[in-house]
Amino acid sequence: MSRIPTPSKAQLCEDVTAEYLSTAVPGYGSVTYDKGYRVKDHQHEIDMAEWLHRTFGGNIVLLKESEIKNQKMADLLWNNKLWELKSASSINGADKLMQHAIKQIQDNPGGVILNVVEELNLSQLEYQLMRRIRRSQIGTFDLILLSKSGLVRILRYRK
């Protein structure tokens, strides 16, 4: 696939889907739970962790919610990097969710898994997300885009 137009030369976005798929070892590693993780409240996160494990492999730890009021935590640790899961039904909604997700993975960024639950213009979505990322304080991280049909693509953002 081709490079996606960027709003700034300081911002690079590349499609790394082939890299992920070529290095995948489906089923390798394990899915575990952080001590105190409440399984019954997080089926979506568990399903996504199991999908990651089946698709790419690796060690995945589902992280419990913070016990500090208003402190947000990433959803999981995948191969020792923080990952956040989000579902969006609009481009503006995805933009706002990305803003929150970046804050949650800022300290040890792995990436964001964005499940697009409605038919959206992917070029417009990617452009809007690049604008959001450019305004953020995060360096390099990956974005896994999913839709109802499964994996769409994986993008790597660098400043």
**For residue 7, is it within any domain?**
no
**For residue 98, is it within any domain?**
yes
CATH of the domain at 89: 3.40.1350.120
**For residue 2, is it within any domain?**
no
Yes or no: say if 115 and 144 are a contact pair by the CB < 8 Å rule.
Answer: no
Token pair, residue 63, equals 């992280």
**For residue 124, is it within any domain?**
yes
Tell which wins on pLDDT, 87 or 66: 87
Number of H helices, E strands in the chain: 4, 8
**For residue 3, is it within any domain?**
no
Token pair, residue 103, equals 């804050």
Q: Could you give the CA distance from residue 116 to residue 86 in angstroms, rounded to a whole number? A: 9
What would the pLDDT profile of 11-46 be if each residue is shown by its tens digit? 578 999 999 999 999 999 999 999 989 888 889 999
What would the pLDDT profile of 88-141 be if each residue is shown by its tens digit? 999 999 999 999 999 899 888 999 999 987 788 888 988 888 888 888 888 889
Judged against a pLDDT cut of 80, whether residue 54 lies above it is answered with yes
Helix or strand (DSSP H, E) at 123: helix 122-135
Task: Give alpha helix (H) positions in 10-138.
Answer: 17-23, 43-55, 91-105, 122-135
Domain total for the chain? Answer: 1
**For residue 137, is it within any domain?**
yes
Yes or no: say if 56 and 85 are a contact pair by the CB < 8 Å rule.
Answer: no
Range of the domain at 46: 12-158
**For residue 6, is it within any domain?**
no
